[in-house]
Protein backbone atom coordinates (compact mmCIF):
# COMPACT_ATOMS: atom_id res chain seq x y z
CA UNK A 1 0.00 0.00 0.00
CA UNK A 2 2.91 2.37 0.66
CA UNK A 3 3.62 2.54 -3.08
CA UNK A 4 -0.04 3.13 -3.95
CA UNK A 5 -1.48 6.56 -4.66
CA UNK A 6 -3.90 7.67 -1.94
CA UNK A 7 -6.38 10.56 -2.12
CA UNK A 8 -8.30 12.01 0.85
CA UNK A 9 -11.32 14.06 -0.24
CA UNK A 10 -12.65 16.59 2.25
CA UNK A 11 -10.18 18.30 4.58
CA UNK A 12 -12.27 17.46 7.64
CA UNK A 13 -11.41 16.40 11.17
CA UNK A 14 -11.50 12.78 9.99
CA UNK A 15 -9.12 13.61 7.13
CA UNK A 16 -6.66 15.21 9.53
CA UNK A 17 -6.79 12.18 11.85
CA UNK A 18 -6.38 9.66 9.02
CA UNK A 19 -3.74 11.81 7.33
CA UNK A 20 -1.71 12.00 10.54
CA UNK A 21 -1.77 8.18 10.83
CA UNK A 22 -0.75 7.74 7.20
CA UNK A 23 1.98 10.34 7.64
CA UNK A 24 3.33 8.59 10.74
CA UNK A 25 3.44 5.26 8.88
CA UNK A 26 5.29 6.76 5.91
CA UNK A 27 2.45 6.72 3.38
CA UNK A 28 2.27 9.45 0.76
CA UNK A 29 -1.16 10.97 0.16
CA UNK A 30 -2.89 14.08 -1.20
CA UNK A 31 -5.87 15.87 0.36
CA UNK A 32 -8.51 17.38 -1.94
CA UNK A 33 -11.02 20.11 -1.08
CA UNK A 34 -12.60 23.16 -2.72
CA UNK A 35 -12.22 25.53 0.24
CA UNK A 36 -9.10 27.66 -0.14
CA UNK A 37 -9.40 28.95 3.43
CA UNK A 38 -8.21 25.50 4.64
CA UNK A 39 -4.79 25.89 3.03
CA UNK A 40 -3.00 27.59 5.98
CA UNK A 41 -4.01 24.78 8.34
CA UNK A 42 -2.91 22.14 5.85
CA UNK A 43 0.49 23.79 5.47
CA UNK A 44 0.88 24.00 9.23
CA UNK A 45 0.23 20.24 9.46
CA UNK A 46 2.57 19.49 6.57
CA UNK A 47 -0.25 18.08 4.42
CA UNK A 48 -0.35 18.27 0.64
CA UNK A 49 -3.76 19.93 0.08
CA UNK A 50 -4.99 20.60 -3.44
CA UNK A 51 -7.84 23.09 -3.87
CA UNK A 52 -9.96 22.10 -6.84
CA UNK A 53 -13.50 21.37 -8.09
CA UNK A 54 -13.83 17.67 -7.22
CA UNK A 55 -17.34 17.58 -8.76
CA UNK A 56 -15.84 17.70 -12.25
CA UNK A 57 -15.07 14.25 -13.73
CA UNK A 58 -12.26 15.68 -15.81
CA UNK A 59 -10.63 16.97 -12.62
CA UNK A 60 -10.98 13.52 -11.01
CA UNK A 61 -9.36 11.89 -14.02
CA UNK A 62 -6.57 14.46 -13.85
CA UNK A 63 -5.98 13.47 -10.21
CA UNK A 64 -5.36 9.89 -11.34
CA UNK A 65 -8.78 8.28 -10.82
CA UNK A 66 -9.03 5.39 -13.26
CA UNK A 67 -5.27 5.34 -13.68
CA UNK A 68 -2.86 5.08 -10.74
CA UNK A 69 -5.01 5.92 -7.70
CA UNK A 70 -5.59 2.75 -5.65
CA UNK A 71 -7.22 4.09 -2.47
CA UNK A 72 -9.71 6.93 -2.00
CA UNK A 73 -11.18 8.26 1.23
CA UNK A 74 -14.33 10.41 1.08
CA UNK A 75 -14.35 12.28 4.39
CA UNK A 76 -16.69 15.24 4.10
CA UNK A 77 -18.80 16.26 7.07
CA UNK A 78 -21.93 16.21 4.89
CA UNK A 79 -23.03 12.74 3.75
CA UNK A 80 -24.46 14.06 0.48
CA UNK A 81 -20.97 15.08 -0.67
CA UNK A 82 -19.57 11.64 0.18
CA UNK A 83 -22.39 9.86 -1.68
CA UNK A 84 -22.06 12.05 -4.76
CA UNK A 85 -18.28 11.76 -4.87
CA UNK A 86 -18.34 7.99 -4.31
CA UNK A 87 -20.79 7.61 -7.20
CA UNK A 88 -18.62 9.75 -9.50
CA UNK A 89 -15.39 7.96 -8.63
CA UNK A 90 -16.93 4.49 -8.92
CA UNK A 91 -18.27 5.30 -12.39
CA UNK A 92 -14.74 6.25 -13.45
CA UNK A 93 -12.94 3.32 -11.84
CA UNK A 94 -14.72 0.03 -10.92
CA UNK A 95 -11.62 -1.29 -9.12
CA UNK A 96 -10.44 1.57 -6.89
CA UNK A 97 -10.87 1.02 -3.14
CA UNK A 98 -13.22 3.68 -1.74
CA UNK A 99 -13.48 4.19 2.01
CA UNK A 100 -16.34 6.52 2.97
CA UNK A 101 -17.40 8.00 6.27
CA UNK A 102 -20.98 8.62 7.21
CA UNK A 103 -22.72 10.52 9.95
CA UNK A 104 -26.18 8.97 9.68
CA UNK A 105 -27.46 5.40 9.40
CA UNK A 106 -29.54 6.37 6.36
CA UNK A 107 -26.42 7.19 4.37
CA UNK A 108 -24.79 3.78 4.89
CA UNK A 109 -27.01 2.05 2.33
CA UNK A 110 -26.71 4.98 -0.07
CA UNK A 111 -22.91 4.83 0.07
CA UNK A 112 -22.96 1.07 -0.53
CA UNK A 113 -25.21 1.50 -3.55
CA UNK A 114 -22.98 4.34 -4.79
CA UNK A 115 -20.05 1.91 -4.76
CA UNK A 116 -18.15 2.41 -1.51
CA UNK A 117 -15.85 -0.52 -0.74
CA UNK A 118 -16.00 0.18 2.99
CA UNK A 119 -18.30 2.47 4.97
CA UNK A 120 -17.02 3.79 8.29
CA UNK A 121 -19.68 4.71 10.81
CA UNK A 122 -17.86 6.66 13.57
CA UNK A 123 -20.67 6.10 16.04
CA UNK A 124 -20.65 2.31 15.56
CA UNK A 125 -16.85 2.22 15.78
CA UNK A 126 -16.96 4.30 18.96
CA UNK A 127 -19.55 1.98 20.47
CA UNK A 128 -17.50 -1.14 19.72
CA UNK A 129 -14.37 0.55 21.05
CA UNK A 130 -16.04 1.47 24.33
CA UNK A 131 -17.37 -2.09 24.69
CA UNK A 132 -13.91 -3.58 24.13
CA UNK A 133 -12.26 -1.07 26.46
CA UNK A 134 -14.56 -2.33 29.18
CA UNK A 135 -14.38 -6.05 28.39
CA UNK A 136 -10.94 -6.49 26.79
CA UNK A 137 -8.53 -3.71 27.80
CA UNK A 138 -5.42 -5.74 26.92
CA UNK A 139 -6.50 -6.08 23.28
CA UNK A 140 -7.21 -2.37 23.07
CA UNK A 141 -3.70 -1.65 24.37
CA UNK A 142 -2.25 -3.69 21.50
CA UNK A 143 -4.44 -1.90 18.98
CA UNK A 144 -3.51 1.49 20.38
CA UNK A 145 0.18 0.61 20.26
CA UNK A 146 -0.22 -0.34 16.62
CA UNK A 147 -2.30 2.57 15.42
CA UNK A 148 -1.17 5.35 17.69
CA UNK A 149 2.19 4.23 19.03
CA UNK A 150 5.64 3.60 17.68
CA UNK A 151 5.96 -0.11 18.45
CA UNK A 152 7.33 -2.37 15.73
CA UNK A 153 3.89 -3.86 15.17
CA UNK A 154 1.86 -3.86 11.98
CA UNK A 155 -1.76 -4.42 11.12
CA UNK A 156 -2.21 -6.32 7.87
CA UNK A 157 -5.00 -7.86 5.82
CA UNK A 158 -4.33 -11.32 4.38
CA UNK A 159 -6.44 -12.76 1.59
CA UNK A 160 -7.13 -16.51 1.67
CA UNK A 161 -5.88 -18.01 -1.58
CA UNK A 162 -7.45 -20.97 -3.36
CA UNK A 163 -4.37 -23.13 -2.79
CA UNK A 164 -3.88 -22.21 0.89
CA UNK A 165 -4.33 -25.00 3.49
CA UNK A 166 -6.64 -22.56 5.31
CA UNK A 167 -9.14 -22.64 2.43
CA UNK A 168 -12.12 -24.68 3.64
CA UNK A 169 -11.16 -24.75 7.34
CA UNK A 170 -13.37 -23.43 10.11
CA UNK A 171 -11.97 -20.39 11.87
CA UNK A 172 -11.52 -22.19 15.20
CA UNK A 173 -9.47 -24.86 13.44
CA UNK A 174 -6.74 -22.36 12.57
CA UNK A 175 -7.05 -19.92 15.49
CA UNK A 176 -5.51 -19.38 17.95
CA UNK A 177 -2.34 -19.91 15.93
CA UNK A 178 -0.09 -20.72 18.87
CA UNK A 179 2.99 -21.05 16.70
CA UNK A 180 2.81 -17.40 15.65
CA UNK A 181 3.23 -14.33 17.81
CA UNK A 182 0.36 -12.39 16.32
CA UNK A 183 -3.27 -11.58 16.95
CA UNK A 184 -6.25 -12.23 14.68
CA UNK A 185 -8.62 -9.24 14.89
CA UNK A 186 -11.37 -10.43 12.54
CA UNK A 187 -12.23 -11.07 8.95
CA UNK A 188 -14.12 -9.94 5.90
CA UNK A 189 -16.17 -12.99 4.93
CA UNK A 190 -17.02 -12.65 1.24
CA UNK A 191 -20.36 -14.39 1.84
CA UNK A 192 -21.22 -11.52 4.19
CA UNK A 193 -20.10 -8.99 1.55
CA UNK A 194 -18.82 -5.77 3.16
CA UNK A 195 -19.46 -6.65 6.79
CA UNK A 196 -16.38 -6.91 9.02
CA UNK A 197 -16.63 -9.61 11.69
CA UNK A 198 -14.60 -9.19 14.87
CA UNK A 199 -13.14 -12.43 16.21
CA UNK A 200 -14.51 -11.54 19.64
CA UNK A 201 -18.07 -11.88 18.32
CA UNK A 202 -17.60 -15.64 18.53
CA UNK A 203 -18.83 -16.71 15.09
CA UNK A 204 -17.07 -19.76 13.68
CA UNK A 205 -16.89 -19.00 9.97
CA UNK A 206 -15.73 -21.35 7.28
CA UNK A 207 -12.78 -19.79 5.50
CA UNK A 208 -13.03 -19.61 1.74
CA UNK A 209 -10.92 -18.38 -1.11
CA UNK A 210 -11.22 -14.59 -1.17
CA UNK A 211 -11.96 -14.09 2.53
CA UNK A 212 -9.68 -11.54 4.22
CA UNK A 213 -8.09 -12.00 7.65
CA UNK A 214 -7.03 -8.88 9.59
CA UNK A 215 -4.10 -9.56 11.91
CA UNK A 216 -1.73 -7.65 14.18
CA UNK A 217 1.84 -8.67 14.83
CA UNK A 218 5.45 -8.06 13.98
CA UNK A 219 6.16 -8.05 10.26
CA UNK A 220 8.43 -11.09 10.47
CA UNK A 221 5.75 -13.16 12.23
CA UNK A 222 3.08 -12.16 9.72
CA UNK A 223 5.37 -12.99 6.81
CA UNK A 224 6.19 -16.38 8.37
CA UNK A 225 2.47 -17.13 8.75
CA UNK A 226 1.79 -16.14 5.13
CA UNK A 227 4.65 -18.27 3.84
CA UNK A 228 3.64 -21.33 5.89
CA UNK A 229 0.03 -21.15 4.66
CA UNK A 230 0.71 -20.12 1.03
CA UNK A 231 -0.93 -16.70 1.45
115-149 pLDDT per residue, tens: 998 888 766 665 555 555 555 555 555 555 555 55
Question: Is the bond into 176 cis (omega within 30 degrees of 0)?
Answer: yes
pLDDT at residue 195 in the model:
64
Q: What is the pLDDT of residues 80-106, one digit of tens each?
A: 999 999 999 999 999 999 999 887 877
pLDDT at residue 144 in the model:
59
The model's pTM is 0.59
Q: What is the pLDDT of residues 1-13, one digit of tens each?
A: 445 689 999 999 8
On whether the CB atoms of residues 28 and 6 are closer than 8 A, the answer is: yes
On whether the CB atoms of residues 184 and 199 are closer than 8 A, the answer is: yes
pLDDT at residue 101 in the model:
87
Amino acid sequence: MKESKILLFGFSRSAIEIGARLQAQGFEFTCIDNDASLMPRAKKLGFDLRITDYSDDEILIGLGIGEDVKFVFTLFEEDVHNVFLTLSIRSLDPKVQIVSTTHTKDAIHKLEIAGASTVLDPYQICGKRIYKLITQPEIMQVIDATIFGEEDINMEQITITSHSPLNGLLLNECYPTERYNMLLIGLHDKELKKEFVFITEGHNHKLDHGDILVVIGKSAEIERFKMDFSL
